[in-house]
Structure 1
Amino acid sequence: MDSAAPAKLLYDHGQFKVLWPGSYVICAVTGVRIPLEDLRYWSVELQEPYASPEAALKRAAAKA
């Protein structure tokens, strides 16, 4: 496992499952790295992570 590589996750309600090990994911809105231990926001429907609640709201507004 390359811990400096991005992880591949399956996002579910209130939890995520690691499909491919790594130390971070990339925010779907801002493009910033999110360490897995700091990941708090994601979309189950879109299967994408967000760096902040603002980023999640921005994606939701764009989808509406």
Structure 2
Amino acid sequence: MLMSNSDRPARLHYMANGFRVLAAGDHVVCAASGSRIPLDVLRYWDVAAQAPYATAQLASEAMAPR
């Protein structure tokens, strides 16, 4: 039986210039909004926190000094 990666969250390791897939899936969940981000449109993440973000604004707000 073949397993499909559709509708499964991926586990990623975020690096400065990209990410490595640790567990196959088709999306990740935004750390700020909780929305699903398909891997093919994932553009924003925090390397230190190992967290993905759906938009540049959400990433900027999450990483802003407090």
Structure 1 unaligned regions, length at least 5? none
What's the CA shift for 1:15?
0.5
Runs of 4+ in 1 over 4 A off after TM superposition: none
8 A contact 2:27–2:36 mirrored in 1: yes
Secondary structure in 2 matching 1:9: strand
State the match for 1:44 in structure 2: 47
**When the two structures are superposed, what TM-score results if normalisation uses the length of structure 2?**
0.88
Task: Pick the aligned partner of 1:58 from 55, 58, 61.
Answer: 61
What does 1:1-64 align with in structure 2 at a 5 Å threshold? 1=3, 2-61=5-64, 64=66
Aligned CA RMSD, in angstroms, stands at 1.1
Letter in 1 for 2:11: K
- Read off the aligned partner of 2:41 and give its amino acid letter: D
The secondary structure found in structure 1 opposite 2:59 is: helix
Identity between Structure 1 and Structure 2 (%): 46
The offset of 1:13, in angstroms, is 0.6
Gaps of 5+ in 2: none
Larger Rg: 2
Aligned residues: 63
